[in-house]
Amino acid sequence: MLGAGGMGVGPLAIYLKSEGWDVRGCDDAMGGPMAAQLATAGIPLQASLETGNWTPQLVAHTSAIKTGHPLREQAVKANCRIMRRGELLAEQASGRRLVAICGSHGKTTTCGMVITALTAAGADFGYVLGGLFRDPSLAPARATTSSDWLVAEVDESDGTIGGFSPEVTVAVNLDWDHPDYYRTEADLERVFAELFQRTRSLILIPHGNARLHRLTQGVTARVLTVGEGGDFDLRVVAATHGSSDVEVGGLWAKGKLTLPVAGSFNRMNAGFALAVAQHVAGQVGAAPLGAWTGIRRRQDTLFERPGLRVLADYAHHPTEIAALLGLLRETHLGKLIVVFQPHRHTRTRQYATAFREALSVADTVIVLPVYAAGEAPLEGGSSESILLGAGVDKFQLVQNRTELPRMLQTCIKDSDAVVAFVGAGDIEKDATSFARDCWRAPVAPHAPADFANRVTPFLSSLTVLRRHEPLARRVTWGVGGVAEWYAEPATVEDCVALLRAAAECDLPVFTLGRGSNLLVTDDGYAGLVIHLSTEHWGAVRKVDDLRLHVGGGVRLKELCGFAAREGLAGFEFLEGIPGTVGGSLRMNAGAMGSWIFDRVESIEWLGLDGHVRTAKRSAFDATYRDCPQLHGAVVLSAVLIAEGRDDPSSIRAKMEKMSAQRRATQPREASAGCVFRNPPADKAGRLIEMSGLKGDIQGGAKVSPIHANFIVNTGEATAADILLLLRRVRGVVKAERGIELEPEIIALGKEWRDLL
């Protein structure tokens, strides 16, 4: 595989290796993340085609390698079969049911989302990505012998698109591009029309795309549209700079989803992924893109601190650049600085004016020399052509790239800035170098955004760390803003690193379980939210005949199920409480006259000081809905002791009886459980009902007609709606009954004294 370090050849090499081929790789400039992926796959890199007694039968190469290249000439002399990368992929796909991702922009992102969505839906398939996932633990390719489904990008740039006959074609878009290969725009349209004619089963196109609609007329495959008003109907309801709440319908089962992407183009890519999952797997998973981490060099944040964000993106066509910069303008109010490297002289000549118009959204544009990709210079195809007629204050040309860091430091001085490195050549080296310089620069002490800089080197690869994480989807009420930082640690050491870094940055910390008994304000939480995932902290094991060792991330429903199977009685009351063991211990959760601390023998927890402690039940002052010693703590595990032993069927009967009682007396709509503490010798629900407040409404929030101490989300509530209703209920009960109710739930984002 010649050019194995590239984003096209490298993944195909890994796919072939996983199919059983003996694969070797060559590249003129090997290194970086693709080299690591090749090494993981067991693909050696060598400088020559022939090594020892090993001589290849087939040599495949990137289209950037032309006739006359020394390694290609070696293959000619050795009588090897020689193919371009796209030709070899087409040959491998010929006997499979290919899902071909094609179009001018967004192929790699869409392909990655399709892979993620199919995996979530439980499908069996192989894939070849045209890039790298942002998560290095995810391979860019995988073969399978148990299914004939294959997902792959189909590249039109070199004409090899003509060798594919897909089962399903996903055409994400189509713009005039690659003038080095296609003499006219009609030539480019023709190869896509021919691909559509060869597609056997299904063609997916964006709703409202006139060009693709025209090119799919008369084909034998079924043509369906994706997007608002399309056959697969996807409508955005709400969006932040990192996620989108959407309603889906049409050929999808009607419902709502939260997608971990922002921007119309990313939502469309996600829509294609969900449509493919529906077609191939017959379903869309409950969280179809829950594992989506993104694609490397697509809006990659390389460095971030207050006042500065550095990112890199592969965009190299005017449409892509305009979409990227439009998104950055929407989500950032400060100065936007773009470093742009044009890709190919032919593309630069074709789009010089369009590049200038797309880039003009930025406050400052620094243009690097063209990345030739093997092309000879052309008149009108240099970087200077982009600057013709551009304002000298906004556009700058830099020929000596060693001057770039100094120019950027001048631009960002005393500014709240985003620096975006944009292009498909070797601009990544400039981006990485500048980000590295930023990491080394001194920063203000105790800056919250410095948290990632401090903690990342100490985290294991399995730990999740994200900024600006939406919390509404993580709490049972379904409302609230974002967390400044969100982490899912995989080990105790990860927890310690997170807490110590948070302390160094004066960053408050909150440990989140299932999100019941919690109100997140619409402003969100300006701190670190730690969540112990079931994956790493959800183990339950027997210690002896009566005792269980349970992880802090164990869900109460799973604990009850395990205890019932083992014939351990006394945990039945926990069935139906939407919480984890850690959260329930913090709140001393209870029901039906029992508390979880009734079952505690000992607890292991991590304090905010980063020290792990273990203590017996007697060390804790567990009271009604509270355990003060666990405030701010991360509960790692607990040893729980059963009340005794019983027949499993008898235990399940008790659980079902309690569950039926809950269903009869508690609302089914989204809530946080009981809102107010019961005052001495009375019930909060009775006082609210006696005050005539059952069914009272504020926006999308409502006092439950079934149980007055529940405020439910009817579907469109905000945290502000709930707070207004909570204040009104509290005020009316105080005025009419003379009792001031106190919240039972926790407020995250502000203190109750400030909210009430």
CATH of the domain at 479: 3.30.43.10
Angle formed at CA 114 by CA 109 and CA 119, multiple of 5 degrees: 130
**CB 483 within 8 Å of CB 468:** yes
Task: Name the DSSP letter for residue 25.
Answer: B
Q: How far is CA 754 from CA 199, 437, 748, in A?
A: 61, 42, 12
The whole-number pLDDT of residue 649 equals: 94
Which of 593, 645, 596, 646 is closest to 622 using CA atoms? 596
Rg of the chain over Cα atoms, rounded to whole angstroms, equals 29
Q: How many residues does the chain have?
A: 756
Domain limit, last residue, from 66, 87, 108: 87
Note whether residue 128 is domain-resident: yes
Q: How far is CA 277 from CA 105, 117, 166, in A?
A: 21, 6, 16
Note whether residue 287 is domain-resident: no
**CB 76 within 8 Å of CB 19:** no
Distance CA 150, CA 166 (A): 10
Q: Same domain for 350 and 465?
A: no
Q: Same domain for 673 and 560?
A: no
Q: Count Cβ atoms below 10 Å from residue 493 Cβ, excluding itself.
A: 13
CATH of the domain at 192: 3.40.1190.10
The whole-number pLDDT of residue 440 equals: 62
Residue holding tokens 């909570």?
726
Note whether residue 742 is domain-resident: yes
**CB 307 within 8 Å of CB 416:** yes
The whole-number pLDDT of residue 333 equals: 65
Q: Same domain for 185 and 334?
A: no
Rounded to the nearest 10°, the torsion over CA 739, 740, 741, 742 is -140
**CB 611 within 8 Å of CB 492:** no
Which of 727, 728, 724, 729 is closest to 709 using CA atoms? 729
Tell me the residue type at 107: K
Note whether residue 330 is domain-resident: yes
Which residues span the domain enclosing 613?
535-662
Q: Same domain for 738 and 630?
A: no
CATH of the domain at 410: 3.90.190.20
Q: Same domain for 185 and 214?
A: yes
Q: Same domain for 725 and 701?
A: yes
Residues contacting residue 726 through CB under 8 Å, at least 6 positions apart = 675, 711, 743, 756
Q: Same domain for 396 and 330?
A: yes
Give the count of domains, the chain: 6
Domain limit, last residue, from 481, 508, 531: 531
3-state secondary structure of 343: strand
Note whether residue 515 is domain-resident: yes
Q: Where are the beta strands (DSSP E) in 27-148?
A: 58-61, 81-84, 97-102, 126-128, 141-142
* Phi, psi for residue 205 in degrees, rounded to 5: -135, 160
Angle formed at CA 209 by CA 208 and CA 215, multiple of 5 degrees: 130
Domain limit, last residue, from 440, 457, 489: 440
* Phi, psi for residue 129 in degrees, rounded to 5: -85, 150
| Whether the predicted model's global pTM rises above the 0.85 cut | no
Q: Same domain for 119 and 134?
A: yes
CATH of the domain at 728: 3.90.78.10
Note whether residue 292 is domain-resident: no
Q: Same domain for 113 and 217?
A: yes
Structure-token pair, residue 384: 């200077």
CATH of the domain at 74: 3.40.50.720
Q: Same domain for 614 and 705?
A: no
Average pLDDT per consecutive 10 residues, the chain (756 residues; last block may be shorter)? 89 95 82 76 78 82 84 87 94 95 91 95 95 86 94 90 96 84 88 96 96 96 96 86 84 91 85 96 87 81 80 87 83 84 92 92 93 88 87 84 90 86 88 79 52 88 92 94 94 90 84 91 93 91 94 92 94 87 87 87 81 77 74 88 94 90 88 91 93 95 95 94 95 94 91 84
Note whether residue 295 is domain-resident: no
Q: Same domain for 429 and 555?
A: no
Name the β-bridge partners of 185: none
Note whether residue 291 is domain-resident: no
The whole-number pLDDT of residue 505 equals: 82
The whole-number pLDDT of residue 211 equals: 94
Q: Same domain for 171 and 109?
A: yes
Q: How far is CA 671 from CA 560, 656, 661, 701, 704, in A?
A: 22, 21, 17, 10, 9
